[in-house]
Structure formats: C-alpha cells, structure tokens
Homo-oligomer: A and B are copies of this chain.
Amino acid sequence: MSNTFKPFNNNFKGKSFISIDQLTKVSEIEKIFKVARQMEKIVLKKKPSNLLNGYCVAELFYQPSTRTFTSFLAAAEWLGALTIPIHGMSSYSSAVKGETIEDTVRTIYQTTAADLIVMRHPDNDSTEIAAKYSYVPVISAGAGTKEHPTQAILDLYTIEKELGRTNNLKVIFLGDLKYGRTIKSLGKLLVLMDKKLQLYLVSPKILKMPEDLVKTWRSQGVKIVETDNLQEVLPEADVLYATRVQKEWFEKEGKLDQYEKVKHAFDINLNTLKKAKKKMIIMHPLPRVGEIAYEVDNDPRAVYLPQMRAGLYTRMALMKLILLGDK
C-alpha cells in the first residue's frame, strides 16, 4: 500500500478505495456486508433509493469492461445519483491530447461537480495517482495487473452468502496463480477473516503463487498445500475458485511442452467435479473462455453467475459508506 493511503480504520467516509490492503479489520468487512444486504433489498424490491440524490458519480474507464462498468453504473443509478459514465476514455477523452491522470481527475470534478470518481486504467499506479490528486474520493475499478479491490469484496460476499460463513473454510485457488490479481486479493481477505484458513493452491508449475505471498500467509497461520493435481485436493474443498490458464504465458517462457501436459488438468466440467462435495461452490471472476463447460452452469454448486450480482450490492454499499458514512 502506498504511503498516501492509510487503512480505513472502520471509517469509510470521504476516503478513496484503491487497495485491498486498506482493509485491516474484520469489522470493516462486516460493516460493508451489512450495508450490502440492505442494498440487496432495494434492488430486489425494485425500489430505487434516493440515498444519493444530489450526489454525482463519474465513471472513467480507460479499458474494455462489461461487467465492472455496468455494475458501477447500475449501482449509482439504483442509489439515485446523477451519473457521468465515460467508456472509452482512451479514445474520446483529452487523454488523446496527452492530458495526465492528475489533470483529468481534477477536471472531471470541476466540469461535473462529481462527488465520487470510479476509475479503471491499464497502469498499476493509475488509481493511486488519481486518488492522490483528486478533490473527491476515488474507487478503483481495476488498475493494471495490481489491484481490483471491489472484486475481492464481491467474491467474499458471495462465499458468505452461499456458505453462511467466511471462516473454517477449505479453499482451492485454481489456474493462473502467478499473474491473476483476483485470487491474491481474495486470499488476503480470507486470511483477514480467519487465520486458520486451509488453502489449496492448484496451478501449473510455471504459474505458481509468488513465494513471498505464500510465506507471509504461512507465517500468519494459514495451512497451504501447493499442487498441480486438482483431483487430489478437490474432495476436501468448500470453495473451488477457478481462473483462466493462458497459453501465452507458456509460450513466453518457452515451455509449450509443459502446457500440453497440463492444459486439460484445469478444465472444469461435470466429469471433473465428480469427487467434489455436494455443498462446495464453484466461483470464477469471468469472462471465461472455455475453462468452465456450459454444462456446469445448471449444477447447483455453480455460483459464478450470481457471483456477479454480489458486485452490484457491494459496490452500492461502498458508494453509500464512502459518500454518507455510517448515518
């Protein structure tokens, strides 16, 4: 975490949210989840709220995105905010003329009277720079390969909703554990909630979770098994969190032979799942490109579709807490 962004310390009001490391207390997660459950009622009853009437939320996206862009836009609308949604910042904004993030983020505040800026950008330090210069809070909707903090929160919310708990869990992280940002952030939150977490890190050898993170978690008490054999650990798991294994990484490292050996080891289909518990849940950040077969969609364990709805509720909760605080 940057020096400029301190932990929330149970107080979200007026603060930017650009790193999962700003969350350091269980009570903070509980607070977000409590509000998210209220938000769920607003949406399911189809009664848009007026909580954010008179507030203005600007959404600046410099990268393609369906689910995150629409989720934040819908979140602001369900809460009654004015919205300034700008997709394609890279093509249509003054970024084309060379404007810096520092200036863009202050510009948008001035031109719209925005109270909150949601930003997605391909650079790792983009949302941190934005938050530093912005007059109003910034929520990261993804920054390069580094942070996508609201994704981790919706993932954890899904686990709690589906399994009724966020502790006493056995969790498989499957696939690309080296480059994937999702499972690292979720890992941090799971460890925050329960030091006695059991983690199964299942990946091809060249896509293993970085050593330092494994070491840190072990030193905190987490039990960790690293393997490239999904079937070996599947029967124990409460959560199977799948991510995409991309051929490109093998090519890049000149190890296409390894890819040939493992490429089917990480496929999820009804056959793969035979040994899994009946109450296990299957998660995925989506989009998928073949790694989970369509036939799995109707399996009661598949929660990767409703998982996205959790993004709507938790992002509404964060907007509420950041703009209005606890009142």
Contact = CB atoms under 8 A, between A and B. Distances in A.
Nearest to A44: B113
B53 A65 contact: no
Contacts of A305: 106-107, 110
A46 B12 CA distance: 21
Name A's interface SS.
helix
B94 A43 contact: no
Given A70-B108, A112-B70, A287-B97, A64 B82 contact: no
Given A92-B88, A287-B103, A71 B112 contact: yes
A283 to B, nearest CB: 13
Interface string A64-90: 111111110110011000111011110
A54 interface: yes
Given A91-B88, A112-B74, A96 B64 contact: yes
Contact of A48 (B48, B53, B64, B68): B53
A48 B305 CA distance: 34
The listed residue with most B CB atoms (<10 A of its CB), out of A43, A66, A94, A107, is A66
A88 B77 CA distance: 21
A74 B103 contact: no
A250 interface: no
**Range, interface on chain A:** 35 or more
A93 interface: yes
A111 B308 contact: yes
A102 interface: yes
The listed residue with most B CB atoms (<10 A of its CB), out of A103, A110, A311, is A110
A210 B66 CA distance: 39
A94 B71 contact: no
A276 interface: no
10 contacts: A56-B78, A64-B91, A66-B95, A70-B84, A73-B112, A74-B82, A78-B82, A91-B91, A103-B286, A111-B308
The 8 A-B residue pairs whose C-beta atoms are closest, nearest first, are: A74-B112, A46-B54, A110-B308, A99-B287, A71-B111, A66-B93, A94-B287, A110-B309
